[in-house]
C-alpha cells in the first residue's frame, strides 16, 4: 500500500510574451521546474515561456504541459542516477528543499 500523497498547490504568476498569467501546480512540480531552469542557466519564467511556446495550445493546457515536462525531467534524472551509481539526484542544487 502506498503512503498518502499530499502536496499543496502553489499559484505563481509568470510573464509569457508580455502577458501575465497565473499557473497553479503542486509544490513538487515547481521544485523540478526550478531545478531544470537552474541546470539550464535560465530563469523559471524563461523555462515556463519555452515550454509554453513548444506546446500545442489546442491539445494541452499550460499546467499540463508543465507537469509533463517536469515528469520527463524527473524520469531523465532517475535514469542517469540508475546508470551511474556515482551520480546523485541532487544535481546542481545544494538545497535539500529541492529534493522530491
Q: Which domain holds residue 65?
A: 24-82
Residue 52 domain-assigned? yes
Residue 8 domain-assigned? no
Long-range pairs, 29-37, Cβ under 8 A, ≥24: 29/66, 29/67, 29/70, 31/97, 31/98, 31/99, 31/100, 32/70, 32/73, 32/74, 32/100, 33/66, 33/69, 33/70, 33/73, 34/98, 35/73, 35/91, 35/92, 35/93, 35/98, 36/69, 36/70, 36/73
Residue 29 domain-assigned? yes
pTM here is: 0.76
Q: For 46-96, what is each residue's pLDDT tens digit?
A: 999 999 999 987 888 999 999 999 999 999 988 888 887 666 545 554 444
For the chain, the domain total comes to: 1
Q: For 33-50, what is each residue's pLDDT tens digit?
A: 999 999 999 999 999 999
Residue 77 domain-assigned? yes
Residue 99 domain-assigned? no
pLDDT at 84: 76
pLDDT at 97: 47
Residue 62 domain-assigned? yes
Residue 71 domain-assigned? yes
Amino acid at each position: 500500500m502506498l503512503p498518502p500523497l499530499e502536496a499543496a498547490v502553489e499559484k505563481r504568476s509568470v510573464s509569457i510574451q508580455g502577458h501575465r498569467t497565473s499557473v497553479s501546480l503542486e509544490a513538487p512540480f515547481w521544485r523540478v521546474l526550478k531545478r531544470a531552469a537552474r541546470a539550464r542557466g535560465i530563469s523559471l519564467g524563461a523555462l515556463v515561456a519555452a515550454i509554453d511556446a513548444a506546446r500545442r495550445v489546442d491539445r494541452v493546457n499550460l499546467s499540463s504541459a508543465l507537469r509533463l515536462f517536469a515528469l520527463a525531467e524527473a524520469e531523465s534524472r532517475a535514469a542517469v542516477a540508475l546508470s551511474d551509481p556515482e551520480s546523485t539526484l541532487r544535481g546542481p542544487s545544494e538545497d535539500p528543499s529541492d529534493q522530491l
